């Protein structure tokens, strides 16, 4: 699979980076992991065809991770003229929070009948779900966002990928990332442990137990961005494509 990082920033645009959004290409087609508020801009900037995206997987219900969905859905209806079904899958509460976000941003938009089938799934943790051909296993992590936040373990073709979402260190991450081909990990600060977020020092302490084959750091604050190169780890950046 190929992964293009469309957005690798935090909620506040640190480093001029877009909100979280990863574009994954597999043998079936393409899907997104998270769709933060700025994701339609990133999709246009990097020349991604939104109609070729069959599914959008959401880790948690913060604007910088799911706030791009109203824009994506409206673009699909009004400009991209989508006809193919779209599956959106994420934590319990996704259906209501998505409807509220759409009504807040574009009143009346939830009353419009789409020209494509829009399927919103709320995923049960610790179960493997087949979402449009992707094996999705969510693990509950620790991040206050009004609904259960997930780390996602994905089976894509014959590879495994884990994205931590936003979270402080929890044991669930050990299972979510165990032995994966690629672990994309939030690294908000360098060594300052703060509630609900992961710092590099804590992550580095746990990495030997995980056995992840490749680790890429993302979602960095200005503090972490300034010290990222010194870690010697791979750093996600907007627009970069990696193959796994």
> Which residues are tagged catalytic?
64
**DSSP labels, 25-43:** E-SS-EEEE---TTHHHHH
For the CB of residue 197, give the shortest distance to Zn ion in the complex, in Å: 8
Q: Is residue 186 within the footprint of Zn ion (CB under 5 A)?
A: no
Looking at the Cβ atoms of 70 and 149, the one nearer to Zn ion is 149
Could you give the string, one character per residue 25-64, with x where binding to Zn ion holds by CB under 5 A and - elsewhere?
-------------------------------------x--
Looking at the Cβ atoms of 12 and 79, the one nearer to Zn ion is 12
The region of 105-113, 123-131, 161-169, 201-209 touching Zn ion under the rule CB under 5 A is: 161-169
Q: Is residue 23 within the footprint of Zn ion (CB under 5 A)?
A: no
Looking at the Cβ atoms of 86 and 123, the one nearer to Zn ion is 123
Choosing from 10, 75, 166, 199, the residue that interacts with Zn ion (CB under 5 A) is 166
Looking at the Cβ atoms of 30 and 147, the one nearer to Zn ion is 147
The H helix count followed by the E strand count for the chain is: 7, 14
**DSSP labels, 101-130:** HHHHHSTTGGGSPPSS-EEEEEPPTTS-EE
For the CB of residue 194, give the shortest distance to Zn ion in the complex, in Å: 12
* Other Cβ atoms closer than 10 A to 115: 12
Phi and psi based region of residue 212 (left: phi greater than 0; alpha: psi -120 to 50; beta: remaining) = beta
Q: Which H helix or E strand runs over 206?
A: helix 200-210
* Other Cβ atoms closer than 10 A to 232: 6
Q: Is residue 153 within the footprint of Zn ion (CB under 5 A)?
A: no
Residues whose CB falls within 8 Å of the CB of residue 193, separated by 6 or more in sequence, listed in order:
168, 199, 201, 202
Looking at the Cβ atoms of 166 and 168, the one nearer to Zn ion is 166
Phi and psi based region of residue 38 (left: phi greater than 0; alpha: psi -120 to 50; beta: remaining) = alpha
Q: Is residue 199 within the footprint of Zn ion (CB under 5 A)?
A: no
**Site size with Zn ion, rule: CB under 5 A:** 2
For the CB of residue 97, give the shortest distance to Zn ion in the complex, in Å: 13
- 119 near 87, Cβ under 8 Å? yes
Binding site for Zn ion (CB under 5 A): 62, 166
């Amino acid at each position: 699979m190929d992964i293009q990082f469309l957005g690798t920033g935090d909620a506040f645009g640190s480093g001029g980076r877009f909100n979280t959004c990863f574009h994954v290409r597999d043998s079936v087609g393409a899907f997104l992991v998270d769709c933060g508020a700025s994701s339609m801009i990133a999709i246009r900037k990097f020349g991604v065809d939104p109609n070729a995206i069959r599914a959008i997987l959401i880790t948690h219900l913060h604007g910088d991770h799911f706030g791009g969905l109203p824009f994506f859905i409206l673009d699909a209806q009004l400009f991209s003229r989508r006809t193919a079904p779209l599956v959106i899958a994420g934590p319990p509460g996704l259906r209501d929070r998505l409807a509220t976000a759409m009504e807040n941003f574009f009143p009346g938009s939830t009353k419009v009948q789409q020209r494509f089938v829009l399927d919103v799934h709320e995923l049960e943790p610790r179960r493997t779900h087949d979402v449009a051909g992707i094996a999705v296993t969510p693990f509950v992590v620790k991040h206050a966002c009004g609904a259960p936040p997930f780390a996602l373990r994905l089976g894509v073709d014959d590879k495994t990928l884990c994205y931590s979402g936003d979270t402080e260190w929890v044991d669930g991450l050990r299972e979510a990332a165990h032995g994966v081909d690629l672990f994309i990990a939030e690294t908000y600060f360098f060594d300052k442990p703060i509630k609900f977020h992961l710092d590099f020092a804590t992550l580095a302490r746990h990495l030997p137990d995980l056995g992840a084959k490749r680790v890429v750091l993302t979602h960095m604050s200005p503090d972490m961005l300034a010290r990222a190169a010194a870690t010697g780890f791979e750093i996600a950046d907007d627009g970069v494509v990696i193959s796994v």
